[in-house]
Structure 1
Amino acid sequence: MVNVIFCAHGQFACAVLDSVRMVYGEVNATAVEFVPGENAGDITAKLEKLVSAHNEQEWLIAVDLQCGSPWNAAAALAMHNPRMRVISGLSLPLALEVVDNQDALNVDALCEHLTAIASQCCVVWQQPETIEEDL
């Protein structure tokens, strides 16, 4: 079982978790907000509080942006916890994949799976060009 935390700017992480719950019901995931007036240290403290009770377990923190404050805070924690991974690109498709696979895969296999399917999460629909029929 991989423990999961969604962490993002504003209320995005909570909104993603709410949307995941619409699809799956209750899930084993937590959300951490990064609100105006906070800095990476504040996020680190929130994350440490969640992780400290289960520090020996595997963790995946999914953040919205690479190199943003949530990323920096999570990466700072992961530097001291070899069982923790951080992945950027938090979206509803990624979050659904995380909770759908967190029981079946270890943290490294889960990260590998997520990066493999990432390009499938962004699809462009375009109306096909019409072909004129011969009259």
Structure 2
Amino acid sequence: MIHFIVASHGPYARALLESSRMVYGELPHVRTVTLDEQRGIEGFKQDFAAVMAAAREGADGVLVLCDMQSGTPWNVACHYAFSPDCSPPVAVLAGVNLPILLLSDEVTEHTDVDTAATLLLEMAQPTLVKAAPVSSLTPDDF
């Protein structure tokens, strides 16, 4: 089973999880950790370590969904992902959004975290769309 951590600058991670509950329901395989100005980078590292310890319990892998590449949450998560002593394995993705978080439920039963990460990216790609006018109206009650 794959467990997830959503890591972000500010309250974004908690807000995504709260929004996912409103739209989808509980995602018991997801935990959050946030970088805030009061705790700073060192506090974030401590918080991340605690959340990672909890996420590892009973997991075949941990997939960390970060708000953006190369920020502190990404860098700290990559420290775990690229550590040869890290068990279970950790993978890291950047660009977390609500569709990706909701789709995480589709890959949680996998046992290989890299496969889960690849599948999640593939499933999430079509959720990025640009609005275009439609030629006919469709009812809202579909």
TM over 0.5: yes
Classify 1:11/1:76 alpha carbon distance in 2 versus 1 (closer, same or farther; 3 Å). same
Q: Spell out the pairing of 1:65-84 with structure 2 (5 A cutoff).
A: 65-80=68-83, 81=86, 83-84=89-90
Distance in 2 (CA, whole Å) between partners of 1:34 and 1:19 is: 19
Identify unmatched segments of 5+ residues in structure 2. 136-142
Classify 1:104/1:52 alpha carbon distance in 2 versus 1 (closer, same or farther; 3 Å). closer
Q: If the length of structure 2 is used for normalisation, what is the TM-score? A: 0.79
Q: Which residue of 1 aligns with 2:139?
A: none
Percent identical residues: 27
Shift of 1:8: 0.7
**Higher Rg of the two aligned structures:** 1
Q: If the length of structure 1 is used for normalisation, what is the TM-score? A: 0.82
SS at match of 1:36: coil
| Matched letter for residue 64 of structure 1 | D
Q: CA RMSD in A?
A: 2.2
Distance in 1 (CA, whole Å) between partners of 2:42 and 2:57 is: 19
Aligned residues: 129
Between 1:72-81 and 1:11-20, the stretch displaced more is 72-81
Between 1:68-77 and 1:39-48, the stretch displaced more is 39-48
Identify unmatched segments of 5+ residues in structure 1. 130-135
| Matched letter for residue 65 of structure 2 | A
